[in-house]
Chain A
């Protein structure tokens, strides 16, 4: 079982995703970075699920991954709607320009 390789891939994806969330200015790219993190999580769940099944545990990690895929789709739907509203109001989706509220 190639568990370590999968975990390495997922941790690299996770780090790229976190980096993207923290430094990207474009709202859509931030959303894509969050998707990267969620995909890292999915890889983890599927890899651990397969690994644990070899050990004899019966709980499938794939089921959790399916839940995450479904919920993430709903989340991104809401997020894109929000980005669209902001684009209509200010003709820009640079999240660093969204700074009316301070204090």
Chain B
């Protein structure tokens, strides 16, 4: 009987006809995404039409296409989007293109271009499926571009899945290799579980606020004190969900295994781009959606940041595999960015500082990490392994590689005048700007961790310079394909230049906090 009345009331509601008017669409604001979509479709079409003959040109098409996406990004920048944000759909706050999202879109495009440079020989020489590889890579990047502008729970969710689902497949790309299978399965199960938890949190926030638009959620959860439990659980579950994506401790366990088993270019992509997209999502959430509830998200992010920095660094100390070492080093670096995010809720000024610090960190981290992975890729073409022992005496048979790797490691450790020091410096300024005791505690922890990190970066560097080269493989001069040389050159120049002349980064990364069109936090 109860059920019948319920069905009757539902049926009564269902017949209401809601008129739908298509909101005006700002095509210029959507041009980067649409261009990328067209490039992805083109790569897939080339595969379908030309079959085997298309394989040779698909990396070139994907790479040139990615650079073409930079054109609408530049025209948007020239159009003054940074000072005058545009909404893609009428006046709705769902999809905003501002300076912040534009910088991150450009960053994701450049990262993807470097990953394609790294992949070209790796994928062509292995027995892999080439065209699908580039098509999936591009659709994952499309998810990242959407994430940078998403200011709505549904859009954030769809963007997250659009970037994750192709990444699950790419991690499993070497499908006859048990390690790659395992890497993909672990990434998939952890990722899907994380998005399920995040969705449950989103459903609670939707219940508490009655809307999916982040600005309105902010207004709703800031004003009602009635359902604090609901809001707290919602915010914590959403942060946990993205915590998996950025491999924050204690949700980092998938990262080393996935990085080790996945194809190395994809490892670099996951370590830099997928992690970056997770941070972009967290920033959208914190700065736009949860802004009024710093009492909830600040402690959660503080604990995550402290654990992530410390556990990541301590575990990295006892790794024998270079890729696992890079995985834990990446976990520790994520801790620094989380630290800047944890203090953001103090005031608008601090939020401004920490948003710039995180974007700066993401840009510099991308340059130095992609560089280190390029060298691992180049050296393992000869050695066939990523054991730290295979880097012994690298200077004797590949001196250029040893010098470049030393620079990247020094940058990761934060030694001036390389890029990494400026990234760490900007996080420290944000923490000091926070000016509360727990921000200073976090800064102290970060300083201790910087010192711990010298341990493993320094050990690796000294082994490259002072150990004898192993006899397991030939140690005549290493030849590196042109695509890898290009990737190495770009990342090396960026890493050094960003450190010597940080204004190159800050010119772009001093973004306004990703606020709403109407109500700035």
A residues in contact (CB < 8 Å) with B: 2, 7, 10, 14, 17-18, 21, 27, 30, 34, 37-38, 40-41, 44-45, 47-53, 55, 57, 59, 61, 63-64, 67-68, 71, 74-75, 78-79, 81-83, 85-86, 89-90, 95, 98-103
In the complex, what's the smallest C-beta–C-beta distance from A89 to chain B, in angstroms? 6
* A-B pairs with lowest CB-CB distance, top 6: A44-B203, A48-B207, A57-B210, A37-B196, A52-B210, A101-B257
Centre residue among B157, B178, B207, B320 by max chain A CB count within 10 A: B207
Task: Please state if A78 and B189 are interface contacts (CB–CB under 8 Å).
Answer: no
Contact, CB under 8 Å: B181 / A101: no
Cα–Cα distance between A79 and B13 once the two chains are bound (Å): 37
What sequence of 0s and 1s flags, for each residue 174-202 of chain B, a beta carbon within 8 Å of any chain A beta carbon? Answer: 01101101111110110011001101101
The A/B interface has a contact count, at CB < 8 Å, of 129
Residues of B154-190 whose CB lies within 8 A of A: 154, 157-158, 161, 165, 168-169, 172, 175-176, 178-179, 181-186, 188-189
How long is the Cα–Cα vector from A102 to B254 in the complex, in angstroms? 11
Chain B min CB distance to A11 (Å): 9
Verify A68–B210 contact, CB threshold 8 A: no
**Contact, CB under 8 Å: B199 / A38:** yes
Cβ of B10 within 8 Å of any chain A Cβ, yes or no, is yes
B176 touches A89 (CB 8 A): yes
Instruction: Verify if B357 is at the interface (C-beta below 8 Å from A).
Output: no
Contact of A44 among B10, B184, B200, B212 (CB under 8 A): B200
- The CA-CA distance from A100 to B185 in the complex, in Å, is 12
Most buried by A among B165, B185, B197, B320: B185
Can you give 6 contacting A-B residue pairs, CB < 8 Å?
A44-B206, A47-B207, A48-B203, A67-B157, A85-B172, A101-B182
- Which B residues touch A67, using CB under 8 A? 154, 157-158
- Whether A45 lies near B196 (C-beta < 8 A) is no
Q: Are A78 and B165 in contact (CB under 8 A)?
A: yes
Complex Cα spacing A81 to B181, Å: 11
Known contacts A44-B203, A101-B257; is-contact A37 B197 (Cβ 8 Å): yes
Question: What's the least CB distance linking A64 to chain B, in Å?
Answer: 5
A49 contact set on B, CB distance < 8 A: 206
Beta-carbon contact of A71 and B182 below 8 Å: no
> Which residue of A has the minimal Cβ distance to B190?
A21
Instruction: Please give, as numbers and ranges, the residues of chain A lying within 8 Å of B182 by CB-CB distance.
Output: 86, 98-101
State A101–B171 Cα separation when bound (angstroms). Answer: 14
CB distance from A92 to the nearest CB of B (A): 11
Within 8 Å CB of A30, what residues of B?
189
A86 to B189, CA, bound (A): 14
Alpha-carbon separation in the docked complex, A41 to B211 (Å): 15
Q: How far is the CA of A57 from the CA of B175 in the complex (A)?
A: 48
A interface SS class? helix
Q: A74-B161, A75-B192, A82-B185 are in contact. Are A64 and B154 (CB under 8 A)?
A: yes
> Is B261 interfacial (CB 8 A cutoff)?
yes
From A90, which residue of chain B is reached at the shortest CB distance?
B178
Contact call A100/B178, Cβ cutoff below 8 A? yes
A44 touches B207 (CB 8 A): yes
Nearest-neighbour CB distance to chain A for B193, whole angstroms, equals 5
Check A64–B153 contact: CB distance below 8 A.
yes
A-side contacts of B158, CB under 8 Å: 67, 71
- Residues of the B chain whose Cβ atoms lie less than 8 Å from the Cβ of A21: 189, 193
**Contact A85 B212, beta carbon cutoff 8 Å:** no
Contact A82 B154 (CB under 8 A): no
Do B184 and A82 touch across chains, with their CB atoms under 8 A apart? Answer: yes
Complex: A57 Cα to B212 Cα, angstroms:
11
* B320 & A103 in contact (Cβ 8 Å cutoff): yes
Which chain A residue has the least Cβ–Cβ distance from B179? Answer: A100
- Complex partner residue of A79 from B175, B178, B188, CB under 8 angstroms: B188
**Which one of B10, B185, B207, B260 lies within 8 Å of A86 (CB-CB)?**
B185
Contact B192 A79 (CB under 8 A): yes
- Give chain B residues whose Cβ lies under 8 Å from the Cβ of A85: 172, 175, 181
Residues of A within 8 A of B186 (CB): 98, 101
Residue from B169, B184, B185, B207 in contact with A51 in the complex, judged by beta carbons closer than 8 Å: B207
Chain B residues with CB below 8 A from A100, complex form: 178-179, 182, 261
- Determine which of B13, B196, B207, B211 lies in contact with A38 in the assembled complex, contact meaning CB atoms within 8 Å: B196
B326 interface contact, C-beta 8 A: no
Q: Is the CB of B319 within 8 A of A103?
A: yes
Contact B161 A59 (CB under 8 A): no
